[in-house]
Structure 1
Amino acid sequence: MTQSNPELIEELRAQLRTIGARKEENARRLSTMVSGSATSPDGAVTVLTAADGAIAEVRLAEHAMRYDAATLSRAITATIQAAAASARPAAPPPPPQPALAPRPVRRRAQHTPEDYDDGEVAIFDHGR
């Protein structure tokens, strides 16, 4: 059974909508996965990495194709390393401080008999 042109056109439009929706969903997922990124100084290479440093995407600009293989390879490698380094988690935050700082222990002053030597004799009864 053959389809008419309007039916084919509508089917193609539906497929394009599906492809567009999938592309948007993939872009959204990628944006939540990407944790690090780096671009070479000349903009020829861009690398996106996941939080664990794994490569999520490598993008090459048009002018990257003008480089010889060795130069492009070095640019890609350096950009991957920079992107992976930027994806590494920062040092863990310092432990939280207690809500209330401990109060210093107050010690009683140690007195010597000379501190009380005012010429009077005191007798202490400790209830014994």
Structure 2
Amino acid sequence: MSDVTTQHAGLAVRASDAEREHTVALLQRSFADGRLTQAELEERAGAAYAARTRAQLSDLTADLPAALKKPPRSGMVLDPCLLCILLCVCPPAGLVYWLLSLASTQQQPARGRQQPSTVLR
């Protein structure tokens, strides 16, 4: 199957609440940037909450810049239930899980700023 076919098949998938919220957040940022009027924001936000598929959500943001559409990836998200289970069953594993979730949620350095590099010899 080609990438285009896969992409179109992905748009037919039912949208999740998180995807609807992401679309509304994108619309709100676009309104704040002056790309949408108040009426357009209200109309599109209502349509986003009523959308059933990813394609319907995609249509609401098709005329907005592509750079805004990519949701930020936070890496690993801490699951409190899993953390509790790991801490009860195997405390070292729970500690490692917690530390990894902390490390993955820290922000990346700003672009253009160089971090000191470590040279291993």
TM bin, normalised by shorter chain, reads: under 0.3
Per residue, is there more helix in 1 or in 2?
A: 2
- TM-score norm. by structure 2 comes to 0.27
Considering only CA atoms, is the larger Rg found in Structure 1 or Structure 2? Answer: 1
